[in-house]
Structure 1
Amino acid sequence: MSFNLAVMLRESRLATPDTACLIYQGRSITYRELDDLSSRFARGLRAKGLGRDDVLAICLPNVPEFVVAYFGALKAGVTLMPLSPLLKATEIAYHLADSGARTLIAFDVFAAEALGAAAAVSGTTVYVVTLAEDGPVPQGTLAFALLLPEGPPDRAELIRGDIEPTSGDDTAVLLYTSGTTGRPKGAELTHFQLYLNCTTSGDLFDVLPGDVSLGALPLFHVYGLSSVLNVSVRYGGTVSLVLRFEAQSVLDQMVRDRVSVIVGVPTMYVALLAADRTGRDLSRLRVGSSGGASMPGEVIREFEKAFGIVILEGYGLSESASTATFNRSADDRRVLSVGKPIWGVELRVADPDDVPLPPGAEHVGEILLRGHNIITRYRNAPDATAEAFRNGWFHTGDLGYLDEDGFLFVVDRKKDLVIRGGYNVYPREVEEVLYTHPAIAEAAVVGRPDERLGEEVVAVVALRSGEAADPDEIIAFCRERMAAYKYPRVVRILDELPKGPSGKIMKKELRCV
C-alpha cells in the first residue's frame, strides 16, 4: 500500500490553506505556502539526483527551512536525517559515513563544522541556510535556495499531489540516538509509524485546529519533530518556532503569537517558572505536556499554580517515534507518573530474565515495549538490534514500576542507578527531595566510585536567583527526609547544570565535575 507522511501537510492545506502553519519571528507561513515550498524542494532534490534509498542530512535549528526540507524530503521519497547544529565536524562525519548521506544542509553560523565533515567524507555537498535572508554563503558551500527551483506547481499537480508512491513501511526519518552508552545508533522510523504516533498522540492530547503550539523543542529531536511539528500539522494547528530558548523572550513570544499549548522538557518549565511574567497576558495558554526526562513533582505543582494550567507527562524514545505512554487528562492522571500506554502499544516491567513483575513501587524493573510505533532495527547495527529486541520486546534501558491501575512510574536509566553499599539508590528519588529545597532551582544526582561502598551518592545543584545555600546545609536537609543509605554525602553547587540540545540535564558531564 502506498503512503507518505507528507499527506498530512497536503490535507491540512486543502482544508485551511490560509491558516498559519508556522510563525517565525513574527512572520506567518501558511499551509498553502509551506506545501508549495516543500513541493519545490522535492523537485530540487530530484533534480540533484536524490530519490528513494537516499539520505538527506540537515543540521539546522528551528527555522522554517528545516520544515521545508523535512516535508520536501518526504515528498521526494528521500530519508531525512536530522542532526543537532551543535555537532562538531568529527561527529557529523560519523553520521554521514554511517548513514550514507552525501548531501548536507547546515546553518551558516555552524558552516565551518559542516565543511570539516564534508572534507572527511568524500562526495559530500554542503548547502547553507543563512540567518540573514539571501545572505552570502561561506566559500565551499551552496545556497539553500538552489534546492528551490522557481515556478509553482500547476493546478493538476496541486490536485494530484507531488508525493512519490512510497510505502508506509519505507524509512521516513533516520534518528541517531544520543550515544550515551556508545556510538550513536540510527533508529529507522517509517512513514506509517510517525503518522500513527502523532495521530494517536494528538487525539489523546485533544489538539484543536486553532491551537498554537510553542515550538521550543528542537525539531532535530524526536520529541520536537513528532510531538510538536507532526501533531500540529496533522490537526491543522500552528507552531510558533523558537530559534533559541531564552525564558524571558519566549514568554514575550508566547504573548505575541497567542500560544495555547506548551510541549517541553522539565528544564524549560523550570526556566519559565523563574522568569518575570509581570504584565504578560498568557490567558490563552490551556495545557502543557512534559517529556524527555522525569519532571519533579514540586516543579509540576508550582508551575500549574503559577500558570493556571495542567501539565500532562508522557514517556517515549527515538525508538518509539516519540510517545509511548501518556497521562490522558487532569481527571485521569497520576502526578509523577508518565501515564498509561497509548493506543496500540504494549508495555511490561520485567526482571533481568524478562519475567514480568507485579505492580508496586517495590517491583522496579526494566521497561519493555512493543507496538506500531517501535522501530524494527538500527541501521547498519545488527548486534545492537539483536541486543535491544529480545524475546519479542524492545528493551528501553529505563527502569520503572507500574501501580495497581496500570500507571507507569519511571525511576531512572539502568546506567544511572547508584549502588551504595549494596543498596539501590534511584537518583530521581533523591532529586525529588532536592527540588523541595527552597533555594534549589535545578538538581541532578549521580554516582561516584568509592573504594569502601562501591559508589557514593553525589548531588549537583544550581540555586535560584538571589538564594543562598551551602553543601552542608543541603546534605542535612536531605538526611532529615530520606533513609541513611540514600541521602547525598557530597553536594556540588554550579551556576547552571549542563544541558544537551533537547534541554535534558547531561549527567554524563556531571560525573566529571
Structure 2
Amino acid sequence: MDYKKWHDHYPSEIPISLSYDEKPLHMFLRESAERYSGDIALHFMGKEMTFTELYLQSKKMASYLQSLDLVKGDKVAIMLPNTPQSVISYYATLMAGGIVVQTNPLYTERELEYQLVDSEAKFIVCLDILLPKVKNIRDRTNLQHAIVTRIKDYLPFPKNLIYPFIQKREYNIVVNVEQTHDTHVWRDMLDMASSEYLEVEINPKEDLALLQYTGGTTGNPKGVMLTHYNLVANVQMCNAWLYKSKNKRQTVLAVLPFFHVYGMTTVMNFAVMQGSKMILMPKFNPDDILKAISKQRPTLFPGAPTIYIALLNHPNLNEYDLSSIEACLSGSAALPIEVQEKFEKITGGRLVEGYGLTESSPVTHANFVWGKRVNGSIGVPWPDTDAKVFRVDSDLEEVDLGEIGEIAVKGPQIMQGYWNNPEETEKVLKDGWLLTGDLGYMDEDGYFYIVDRKKDMIIASGYNIYPREVEEVLYEHEAVQEAVVAGVPDSYRGETVKAYIVLKKGYQITKEELDKFMKENLAVYKVPKIYEFLDELPKTAVGKILRRKLVEDDKEKEKV
C-alpha cells in the first residue's frame, strides 16, 4: 500500500497494509471450534451454544445439503432473522460449496420471487411462518428444496413450550410442516444427517461466497458478487481496526441483522473469527436490547444511528446499566454528533462513524475507535483501501482538495461485479475503482466527509442542497428525535426542501418555531419550505431511513 496522507493518523497498532488469509471464509469457524471448543459462541433468548456445537451442527447441515445433491456454486437462500439457525445455515452452505443468498424475512412475495429467480437459488432455509409465502411463489422459481425451522427449535425450557402460543397471538398463523422429498424439517434434518461432509476445493479469490442484494432504491435490486477473499479481507481489516480487542475476546451484541452485509461482517463473521460470544437478537425491540445489555454485558455493539437514538429516548433508560459497552461502530446513515456524545456519556464507551457499501463487503472507512476522531467525518480508509474524489460523471478526473465530488474506493474487499448484470457493473467499476454514488470531499488531513447520495442531492432554484447538512441542523433542536430531508417537486424552484420529523415524547413545536430555528442556522435557500410531523419514519432492517419511500408516498397521496 502506497503512502497516503491519512496514514499519518493511524495509531501505531494499526498497520497500513495487512497480510490476508487466502482461505475459505468458513475456515474461521473450524479454527475457533478447535481453539475455543467449550466456549460459548451463541446466546439466544436464554439458551447458549458452544463453538463445538455450532461447528458440529454446521457440518451436519453441510452433509445434508450435499445429500440433496447440492454441488459447488449452487445458491442457498437464507430467509431468517438472527437465530442460531441463521449462523448454522450460513457456514454450512459455504462448507458444502454453496453460495449464500441472504434474504430479508420481511420480503413480500413479489420481492422474494424476484430475488429467488434472479439468483437462481435451488435451496431456501426459512421459518415455518414464512413457508406459505415460499409455497405461493415456488413454482415460478428454481427452488428444489425448502428447509423449514421454528424459533422454538433453539429456545430453552419453558420458552420452547410457550412460544407457539405467542406466535399464534402475534402472527395469527400456525404452520404444521411435515418431512417430504422437497420440504425438510430442521430437527429431522439434524437427526438424520452425518457429521461428515465432503470438503470442497475453494479458490478464495475466484469463488463466490455470497450474493448480497442491494436495496434497490433505483430499479430492481442487484446481486452483489462477493468472494471468500473479499469477505475474509474485510473482516480481518475490522479486526485490525479494533486492535484493543485482538487479544481479548469480546461479547458482541447482534442487533444488526445478518441478512444485511453490515451485520454479517462486523458481527457474525467478526465474532466467529475471534472466537467471541454473540448475543443474538431476532428483532429490534428497545426494551429487549436494554435488558440484554444489562444482563449479558456485551462489549461491542455495532449499530445504526436510529438504533442508538431509540435507546437514548427510551423512557426508562436510566434503569439500565450500559457500562459494559466499550466500542460501537455506526453505519448505514449519518451519525448525528449529539447522538454520539450522549451515547458515549451514558456507556463510557466509544461510538464512531464508519462508512461502506454492500459492494465493498461492506466497510471502507471509519473513524478511529481509539485515536483521532473528527466529528461529522466518516473517518479514513481502512488498511489497503484507497479512496479518491472524482468529478461527477467524468472519466475519473480528480477534484481539488476540499472540493465535492463522487467518492470512489479501491481495495481487496471490492466486489467482483453484479450478478448477471454487466451493464450495471460497467457503470460502477472503472479501472479498479468502485464509484460509490456518494458525494463528498476529503480534507487536508485525509479525512473524508459525505454530503449526500448523488441521487438525493436537491437542486432548488439552481442551488445544490445536501439533505445531510439540513438534517444535522434539525437534530440539534432539542425536540427532534428523528429527521430526514428530501427534495419534492416545486413549480417555481424546480425542487424544494421538505423535512419529515419525529418529535421526542413530551415535546411539542410548531412549524413556525422550527422554521425560525432553521433560519438561524442555515442559509435561507437550504431551509425546509415544508415540515411534516410523523409518528415514525420508514426504515430498512438495519435502521436506515427510507427517504425515497416518503417521497413516493407523497406522490401517491397527490394522485388521490
What range describes the TM-score normalised by the shorter chain of this pair? over 0.9
Distance 2:274 2:43 in 1: 16
> Which amino acid in the other structure matches residue 399 of structure 2?
L
Specify the SS of the correspondent of 2:338. helix
AA in 1 matched with 2:467: P
Displacement of 1:23 after TM fit?
0.8
3-state secondary structure, aligned to 1:106: strand
Residue 103 of structure 1 corresponds to: 123
**Contact 2:249/2:274 (8 A) holds in 1:** no
2:357 to 307, 317, 330: 317
Partner residue, 1:248: 287
CA displacement at 1:151 relative to structure 2: 6.3
Q: For 1:102 and 1:162, how far apart are their aligned partners in 2? A: 19
| Separation in structure 2 between the aligned mates of residue 123 and residue 478 of structure 1, nearest angstrom | 53
CA-CA distance at 1:125 after TM superposition: 2.7
Task: Tell which deviates more after alignment, 143-152 or 309-318.
Answer: 143-152
Distance 1:164 1:458, change over 3 A: same
Quote the residue 2:380 is aligned against.
340
Q: Distance in 2 between matches of 1:429 and 1:237?
A: 38
Deviation at 1:148, TM superposition (A): 2.6
For 1:304-343, what per-residue CA distance to the aligned partner results, in whole angstroms no more than 9, with x for missing partners?
1222221121111111001111112343221111111111
The corresponding residue for 1:373 is 413
Distance in 2 (CA, whole Å) between partners of 1:196 and 1:375 is 12
Higher mean C-alpha displacement, 348-357 vs 422-431: 348-357
Q: State the match for 1:193 in structure 2.
A: 230
- Aligned 8 A contact 1:419 1:455 in 2: yes
Give the superposition deviation at 1:152.
6.2
- Which residue is equivalent to 1:349? 389
Amino acid at match of 2:280: L
Determine helix, strand or coil for the equivalent of 2:354: strand
Q: Which of 475, 488, 502 lines up with 1:448 in the alignment?
A: 488
> Which range is displaced more, 297-306 or 170-179?
297-306
Cα distance in 1, alignment partners of residues 407 and 188 from structure 2: 46
Counterpart of 1:456 in 2: which secondary structure? strand
Which of 359, 365, 368 is the matching residue for 2:401?
Answer: 359
Residue 503 of structure 1 deviates from its aligned partner by 1.1
Q: Distance in 2 between matches of 1:412 and 1:138?
A: 47
Paired residue secondary structure (1:181): coil
Distance across 1 between alignment mates of 2:76 and 2:293: 32
Please name the residue that 2:268 is paired with.
229
| 1:142 to 2:184 alignment | yes
Contact between 1:86 and 1:110, CA under 8 Å: does it hold in 2? Answer: no
Work out the CA distance in 2 between the residues paired with 1:270 and 1:99: 35
Write the distance in 2 (CA, Å) between the matches of 1:496 and 1:2: 45
| Match status 1:202 vs 2:222 | no
What is the aligned partner in structure 1 of residue 215 from structure 2?
178
Secondary structure of the 2:61 match is helix
Task: State the distance in 2 between where 1:119 and 1:50 align.
Answer: 19
Cα deviation, residue 41, structure 1 = 0.6
Q: How big is the shift at 1:283?
A: 2.3
SS in 1 for 2:521: coil
1:235-314 mapped onto 2 (5 Å cutoff): 235-275=274-314, 276-314=316-354
The answer to whether the 8 A contact 1:4-1:191 is kept is yes
Partner of 2:104: 84
Aligned to 1:167: 203
Q: Which aligned runs of 4 or more in structure 1 are off by greater than 6 angstroms? A: none
CA contact (8 A) 1:45 1:147 kept: no
- For 2:193 and 2:485, how far apart are their aligned partners in 1? 56
Q: CA–CA distance in 1 between the matches of 2:510 and 2:177?
A: 49
Question: 1:71 is matched with which residue?
Answer: 91
Q: Distance in 2 between matches of 1:263 and 1:67?
A: 17
1:346 is displaced (CA, Å) by 1.0
C-alpha separation in 2, matches of 1:32 and 1:490:
57
**Relative contact order, higher structure (CA 8 A, sep 6+):** 2
Letter in 2 for 1:202: N
C-alpha distance in structure 1 between counterparts of 2:122 and 2:54, whole Å: 25
The farther-off stretch of 438-447 and 85-94 is 85-94
SS where residue 29 of structure 2 aligns? helix
What is the SS of the residue equivalent to 1:343? coil
Whole-angstrom distance in 1 between the partners of 2:142 and 2:299: 46
Moved more, 332-341 or 488-497: 332-341
| Residue matched to 2:26 | 6
Q: Does 1:491 align with 2:531?
A: yes
Q: Which moved more, 1:323-332 or 1:233-242?
A: 323-332
Size of the aligned set, in residue pairs, is: 505
**SS of 1:262's equivalent?**
coil
Which residue of 23, 32, 36 maps to 1:16? 36
Q: Are the structure 2 counterparts of residues 369 and 182 from structure 1 closer, same or farther at C-alpha, using a change threshold of 3 Å? A: same
Aligned counterparts of 2:483 and 2:198: Cα–Cα separation in 1: 49
Structure 1 CA distance, aligned partners of 2:431 and 2:203? 27
Secondary structure (helix, strand or coil) at the match of 1:285 reads: coil
Matched letter for residue 264 of structure 1? G
Unpaired runs of at least 5, structure 2? 1-20, 154-159, 165-174, 555-560
Contact 2:418 2:424 in 1 (8 A): yes
126-135 or 23-32, which deviates more: 126-135
Match of residue 74, structure 2, among 54, 59, 72: 54
Identity of matched residues, %: 35
User: Does the alignment pair 1:121 with 2:161?
Assistant: no
Cα deviation code 1:261-313 (max 9, x no counterpart): 11001000001111222332322211111011111112112211222221121
Q: Is 1:219 matched up with 2:261? A: no
Contact 1:402-1:409 within 8 A present in 2 as well: yes
Contact 1:115 1:126 in 2 (8 A): no
Cα distance change of structure 1 residues 190 and 417 upon mapping to structure 2, 3 Å threshold: same
TM-score by length of 1: 0.95
Q: Which runs of 5+ in 1 are unaligned?
A: none
Deviates more, 1:471-480 or 1:237-246: 471-480
Q: Where is the helix percentage greater, Structure 1 or Structure 2? A: 2
